[in-house]
Amino acid sequence: MAVSVARDLSVTVSDHTMDKLAERQQALREGIQKGEPKVLGVSQLMVGVTVISYSLPLLSTDFTEVMAFGVPWWSGIMFIVTGAVAIAMEKHANMKFLCVCLSTTAASLLVSLIALIFYFTLNQLIPPTPTTEVPAEFN
């Protein structure tokens, strides 16, 4: 904090830390926008919508363990939430929102790894079903 007194005895108080803080926030905002979080958010949002839409036909098939655990639903919803947070970070670029975006992205990564483990282990545990013979009239 700097205090200066003019010849007319007027006192001016200036705080250089506020100027430095404003400069750092502007640099952070420019750095975030340079990374294009909106593109990342839209791609994560589309992955979530794709996961959920591709799992809709599973509702009309035999009930599997993947559907019992709801793997496509919670993994798709997590991607949608993460994408929405990344898109919102474009508008509200500050350190707190950056931490929220990074934590939701890390949680989304963890959820997708758990979903892959579910898919692979359940795929190994369930034996493949035998194929049926093609009827003679189709030969």
Q: What is the pLDDT of residues 38-79, one digit of tens each?
A: 888 899 999 999 999 998 887 787 777 777 788 889 999 999
Q: Which two tokens stand for residue 30?
A: 């420019």
Straight-line distance from the first to the last Cα atom of the chain, in angstroms, rounded to the nearest whole number: 90
Q: Which residues pair with 13 in a beta bridge?
A: 3
Q: Considering all CA atoms of the chain, what is the largest pairwise distance in Å, rounded to the nearest integer?
A: 108
pLDDT given for residue 110 in this prediction: 95
Pairwise CA distance, residues 121 & 29, whole Å? 43
pLDDT given for residue 20 in this prediction: 79
Q: What is the pLDDT of residues 68-109, one digit of tens each?
A: 788 889 999 999 999 999 898 888 777 788 889 889 999 999
pLDDT given for residue 123 in this prediction: 72
Contacts of 76 (CB under 8 A, 6+ apart): 48, 49, 50, 51, 52, 55
Model-level pTM greater than 0.75?
A: no
DSSP state of 63: -
Pairwise CA distance, residues 50 & 44, whole Å? 10
Q: Where residue 132 falls among pLDDT bands split at 50, 70, 90?
A: low
pLDDT given for residue 44 in this prediction: 92
pLDDT given for residue 130 in this prediction: 64
Contacts of 128 (CB under 8 A, 6+ apart): none
Q: Which two tokens stand for residue 56?
A: 């809709």
